[in-house]
Chains A and B, each alone.
Chain A
Amino acid sequence: MSLLSRKTIVIGGGALLLFFLPLVAKLTGQPYLLSLGSRILIYALAAVSLDLLLGYSGMISLGHAAFVGIGAYVVGISQFHSYEATPFLSAPFLLSGSENGLFVLPLAILVAAFAALIIGALCLRTTGMHFIMITLAFAQMLYYFFISLEKYGGDDGLSLYARNSFPGIDLSDDRHFYYLCLTALGLFLLFTCRLVTSRFGLIIRGAGNNDRRLKGLGIRSTSYKLVTFVIAGGGAGLAGALLANQTEYVSPGLMHWTLSGELMVMVLLGGLGTLFGPVLGAAAFLLLEEGLAMYTEHWMVYMGPVLILAVVFAKRGLFGLLAGGNSRDD
């Protein structure tokens, strides 16, 4: 019981901190905290979605950034066409550009999820090391694909003219944008927490733990894994769409495999299979990056060994340290 309450305290404290961060930023006169906060929330969203794959269903995807990139490009391309007043598609149906967030954000989720459906269906023909390499290869394929898309800036990417419009709120106001990100992360966490304790979640946790045994029970896990892959892809797509809005810029670099690797690092640092851990991991990673970058431009030369040590010695991650005991699930 005391463990449970400790976990609740950590989560509740974190939520309060995130909720009042804009106030802190205003009082301390550090508006820069807001944009850092938004970045943390967005990366956290992507990391939570990756945790569904790594921590629960045992799918080690090294290509998760592809879906972040797709989500971002949906925002970028959609706005490009809206600005140019040219349709994106004229056949088989008319699809014109838009900069309305209520339309573009769901579209980003759907497109990323659809891409995850196709890539996942191919990747799930394999397991183990093959799966890792193939997810990486597909992400790289998309990376090169977007580099070759001269129309949308190719290697240089696309600059947004402004953030998406949203009825009732003004996303160009950093505070409004921050709360949009916080809401998105909160809703996604709520959804994933329900998901992993549902019957569906039980199956994917079983698949992540011992896939052969699951087959012995008469359950073929492939379709469950594929749906998980699609959900995770959709979550990453949402993160990408928010990221595009935050930086007002999209580029193939978002799909680069180093971003996939960094998302993985966030999940591990925070705590594998904990959902809330990756939020902590994203915060720790980005703060560490900012902090180290202040002292040396070569911060990665320290981050690398830190990561290796974390892998070898601290498997439970930060969330495990803070929340203690059996923080995995509830």
Chain B
Amino acid sequence: MLLVIEQLLNGLQLGITLFLMSAGLTLVFGIMQVINLAHGSFYMIGAYVGATVAAKTGSFLLAIPAALGAAALVGAVVEIVILRHLYKREHLDQVLATFGLIMFFNELTLMIWGRQPLFMDVPGPLAQSIEILPGLPYPVYRLAVIGVGLFVALALWLLFAKTRAGMKIRAGASNRDMIGALGVNINLLYTLVFSLGALLAGLAGVMAGPVLAVQSGMGESILILTFVVIVIGGIGSIRGAVAGALLVGLVDTLGRAFLPVLLRLVLESSAADSLAASLASMAIYILMAAILVWKPRGLFPAHA
């Protein structure tokens, strides 16, 4: 039972990271109708800048704003210099250009930071475990990540539900023509939304730093999970991003933890292990396929 709770928390943590990635990306898809493969690069930039600042200054508290600032800045530059010219173009052009961006950023980080992955220390006060239930110690850092994620989700909800700017963005995500009608400076709004998305990705990246190895190409594995989240949730829907992220986080984590155990009940152990390994690595994609068959536009389609 304790193991289940621990794995639930791990799944929640993955879900939170995915939510930070997909919230920004789904807005970019929904509002600008642009497919951006380079979103993972912002995650990677956040992680690299965070790890570097933390190593140089020894302060995780400085690393976070540095990572967020760097990701947001690079996001704004990318939007202004490149993506803005692609909004009216076909999806294929957007895919290819942002693929070019990935090549560029991945190689650039190799040139700056080298091939050796960077490792980031868990900041001092968070480096321990506490007993959240009798007999279940859990790393404080992971709890903090979950806390930050929930805080951001709440902040986003307030932004979108309670402020004028947020309502405009939301209106834009579900009906693009609305934005023009509301008399908003579209260029500025697009840059801000894109930059906000990049900032959230940077936050996800810097928080993943102490858990994962910081290396070139780390953005792409999370990017593809993010796509799965968005497909499941529905393009342009924040609610969908929340649901999809939690679903994917939990299914992936629980699948890896418990499928071998479950399969060993019915199969001999070597066959069970190899089958479980295959199934667990494919679980979220199977989930995605199932949801597609049931609801081709995702759980919460924004463009009804």
Q: Tell me if chains A and B make direct contact, with any CB pair below 8 A.
A: yes
CB-defined interface of B92-118 with A at 8 Å, one 1/0 digit per residue?
A: 110111011111111110110000000
* Contact of B282 with A301 in the complex, beta carbons under 8 Å: no
Judge whether A129 and B282 touch: CB under 8 Å: no
> Is B35 part of the contact surface with A, judged by Cβ < 8 Å?
yes
Contacts of A223 in B (CB 8 A): none
How many angstroms from the CA of A140 to the CA of B252 in the assembled complex?
14
Question: A64 → chain B, closest Cβ, in Å?
Answer: 12
Question: What CA separation (Å) do A307 and B96 show in the bound complex?
Answer: 7
Q: How far is the CA of A122 from the CA of B290 in the complex (A)?
A: 9
The 8 Å CB contact of A304, one of B86, B102, B281, is: B102
Question: Which residues of chain A from 275 to 330 have any CB-CB distance to chain B below 8 Å in the complex?
Answer: 298-301, 303-308, 310-312
Does A145 interact with chain B (Cβ within 8 Å)?
yes
CB-based contact B91/A128 at 8 Å: yes
- Chain B residues with Cβ below 8 Å from A268 are 92, 96
Measured in the bound complex, the distance between the Cα atoms of B224 and A14 in whole Å is: 38
Q: Complex Cα distance A136/B102, Å?
A: 15
Least distance between A142 CB and chain B CB atoms (Å): 9
Q: Which residues on the B side are within 8 Å of A144 (C-beta)?
A: 281-282
Cα distance, A257 to B274, chains bound together (Å) = 24
Question: Is there an interface contact between B103 and A141, defined as CB atoms closer than 8 Å?
Answer: no
- Which A residues are in CB contact (< 8 Å) with B228? 133, 137
Question: Which residues of chain B are near A126, meaning CB under 8 Å?
Answer: 231, 292, 296-297
Residues B165-212 near A (CB distance < 8 A): none
Find out whether the CB atom of B224 lies under 8 angstroms from the CB atom of A137.
yes
Verify B97–A301 contact, CB threshold 8 A. no
B85 interface contact, C-beta 8 A: yes
CA distance A147 to B296 in the complex (A): 28
Question: Would you call A264 an interface residue if the criterion is a C-beta within 8 Å of the partner chain's C-beta atoms?
Answer: yes
> Is the C-beta of A230 less than 8 angstroms from some C-beta in chain B?
no
**B138 in contact (CB, < 8 A):** no
B255 to chain A, nearest CB (A): 12
Q: Chain B nearest CB: distance from A304 CB in Å?
A: 3
In the complex, A310→B274 CA distance in Å?
45
Partner pick for B108 among A257, A299, A301, CB 8 A cutoff: A301
- Considering the complex, which residues of chain B in the window 50-68 have a beta carbon less than 8 Å from any beta carbon of chain A? none
Q: What sequence of 0s and 1s flags, for each residue 262-273 of chain A, a beta carbon within 8 Å of any chain B beta carbon? A: 001100100010
Determine the chain B residues whose CB is within 8 A of the CB of A199 once the complex forms: none
Q: Indicate if the CB atoms of B101 and A308 lie closer than 8 Å.
A: yes
A125 vs B103: C-alpha distance when bound (angstroms) = 31
Question: In the bound complex, do residue A133 and residue B231 qualify as a contact, i.e. CB atoms below 8 Å apart?
Answer: yes
Residues of A within 8 A of B96 (CB): 264-265, 268, 307, 310-311
When the two chains form their complex, are residues A304 and B104 in contact, meaning their CB atoms are under 8 A apart? yes
A147 to chain B: which residues have CB within 8 Å? 281
Q: Does chain A have a CB within 8 A of B128?
A: no
A137 and B283 alpha carbons, distance in the complex (Å):
12
Q: Is residue A95 within 8 Å, beta carbon to beta carbon, of the partner chain?
A: no
Report whether B277 and A148 are in contact in the complex, using a CB–CB cutoff of 8 Å: yes
CA distance A7 to B10 in the complex (A): 59
CB-CB nearest in chain A for B38: A304
Within the complex, which residue of A54, A257, A307, A312 is in contact with B224, where a contact is CB–CB below 8 Å? A257
Q: Would you call A150 an interface residue if the criterion is a C-beta within 8 Å of the partner chain's C-beta atoms? A: yes
A60 CB–B CB distance under 8 Å:
yes
Complex Cα distance, B108 from A300, in Å, reads 9
Known A-B contacts A60-B92, A264-B95, A300-B103; the reply to A150 vs B274 at CB < 8 A is yes
**A contact residues around B227 at 8 Å (CB):** 133, 136-137
Residues of A contacting B: mostly? helix
Q: How far is the CA of A309 from the CA of B224 in the complex (A)?
A: 25
Shortest Cβ gap from A172 to chain B (Å): 33
The verdict on A62 contacting chain B, using a C-beta distance below 8 Å, is: yes
Q: Does B278 contact A (CB under 8 A)?
A: yes
CB <8 Å contact, A130 and B235: yes
Determine if A255 is an interface residue (Cβ-Cβ < 8 Å): no
Whether B224 contacts A136 by the Cβ 8 Å rule is: yes
The residue on B at minimum CB distance from A121 is B293
Instruction: Answer whether residue A117 sits at the interface, using C-beta atoms and an 8 A cutoff.
Output: no
Residues of A within 8 A of B92 (CB): 54, 60, 264, 268, 272
Residues of B with C-beta under 8 A to A132: 35, 91, 95
In whole Å, how far is A105's beta carbon from the nearest beta carbon of chain B?
27
A206 within 8 A of B: no
Contacts of B286 in A (CB 8 A): 141
Contact across chains for A301 and B104 when beta carbons are under 8 A apart: yes
Given contacts A126-B297, A137-B231, A147-B281, contact A261 B274 (CB under 8 A): no
A138 at the interface (CB under 8 A from B): yes
Q: Give chain A residues whose Cβ lies under 8 Å from the Cβ of B108.
A: 301
| Pairwise interchain contact A137-B288, C-beta atoms closer than 8 A | yes
A122 touches B289 (CB 8 A): yes
Residues of A within 8 A of B102 (CB): 261, 304
Cβ–Cβ contact A312 & B103, under 8 A: no
Q: Nearest CB to that of B115 among chain A residues?
A: A297
- Write out the residue numbers on chain A whose beta carbons fall within 8 Å of the beta carbon of B280: 148
Cβ of B104 and Cβ of A138 under 8 Å apart?
no
Q: A62-B95, A145-B278, A264-B96 are in contact. Are A312 and B85 (CB under 8 A)?
A: yes
Chain A residue, CB-CB nearest to B290: A122
Most chain B C-beta atoms within 10 Å of own C-beta, residue among A133, A301, A306: A133
Residue of A nearest to B230 (CB): A133
The 6 tightest CB contacts between A and B, nearest first, are A304-B104, A307-B100, A141-B285, A304-B103, A144-B281, A301-B107
Q: Supply 13 A–B pairs (Cβ within 8 Å), ascending by A.
A: A126-B296, A130-B297, A133-B227, A137-B227, A138-B289, A145-B281, A268-B96, A299-B107, A301-B111, A304-B103, A307-B97, A308-B101, A312-B97
Residues of A that sit less than 8 Å from B by CB: 54, 60, 62, 122, 125-126, 128-130, 132-134, 136-138, 140-141, 144-145, 147-151, 257-258, 261, 264-265, 268, 272, 298-301, 303-308, 310-312
